């Protein structure tokens, strides 16, 4: 699972690489047309150079997006806009010291001596913390999609500090809107 910082860096690198390819293709067209194109006049060689730059830049962006798998907004803004971290989207979850305190159908985390040991709500039984879908707080929200194919909730925690739970419904509401 990639963190927000990693997605920002990947978006920046992919954007700069696509820009470099576009500029290089534009330079090649510029040199092929005699190297005397300027932006002072509106002329056909200038339009041809601009067209080839746009085509090369757009195709490079398409290839880069598939290669680094970042959201379009992150790629097109060179990493300025990135998805939220999971801890920001997580909804608070009760921390229980015994399973008897929980109510059926509710998400809860069982703790012993301040450390999470299990999860209630993923099934009819208590799921051990090591087997539950748990991600770090800085993981990008867009990286959680595969976890929702397997279950209906993901818990967010940094070490022993539990930030909360993200349900499939809340995830779809957050990512789609």
> Picking from 46-55, 69-78, 100-109, 123-132, which range would have the lowest pLDDT averaged per residue?
100-109
**Segments forming the whole domain that contains residue 24:** 4-76
At residue 33 the predicted structure's pLDDT band, cuts being 50, 70 and 90, is confident
Mean pLDDT, rounded, for 106-115: 86
Q: What is the mean pLDDT of the chain?
A: 86
Q: Are residues 62 and 100 in the same domain?
A: no
Question: Are 100 and 161 found together in one domain?
Answer: yes
Please return the burial class of 131, using the count of CB atoms within 10 Å of its CB with bins 0-12, 13-18 and 19+.
exposed
Please, what is the angle between helix 44-68 and helix 4-32, to 10°? 150
In a domain, 141, yes or no: yes
* Same domain, residue pair 124 and 72: no
- Give the predicted TM-score (pTM) of the model: 0.77
Q: Is residue 81 part of a domain?
A: no
The lowest-confidence range among 72-76, 83-87, 96-100 is 96-100
Residues 95 and 169 reside in one and the same domain:
yes
């Amino acid at each position: 699972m990639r963190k927000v910082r990693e997605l920002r860096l990947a978006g920046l690198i992919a954007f700069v690489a696509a820009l470099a390819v576009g500029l290089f293709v534009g330079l090649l067209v510029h040199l092929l047309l005699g190297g005397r194109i300027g932006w002072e006049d509106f002329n056909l060689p200038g339009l041809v150079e601009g067209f080839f730059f746009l085509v090369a830049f757009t195709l490079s962006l398409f290839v880069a997006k598939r290669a680094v798998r970042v959201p379009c907004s992150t790629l097109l803004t060179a990493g300025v806009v990135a998805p939220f971290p999971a801890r920001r989207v997580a909804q608070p979850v009760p921390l229980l010291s015994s399973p008897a305190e929980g109510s059926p159908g509710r998400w809860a985390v069982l703790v012993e001596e301040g450390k999470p040991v299990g999860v209630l709500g993923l099934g009819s039984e208590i799921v051990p913390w090591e087997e539950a879908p748990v991600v770090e707080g800085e993981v990008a929200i867009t990286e959680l999609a595969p976890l929702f194919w397997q279950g209906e909730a993901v818990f967010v925690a940094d070490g022993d500090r539990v930030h909360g739970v993200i349900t499939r419904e809340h995830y779809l509401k957050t990512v789609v809107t």
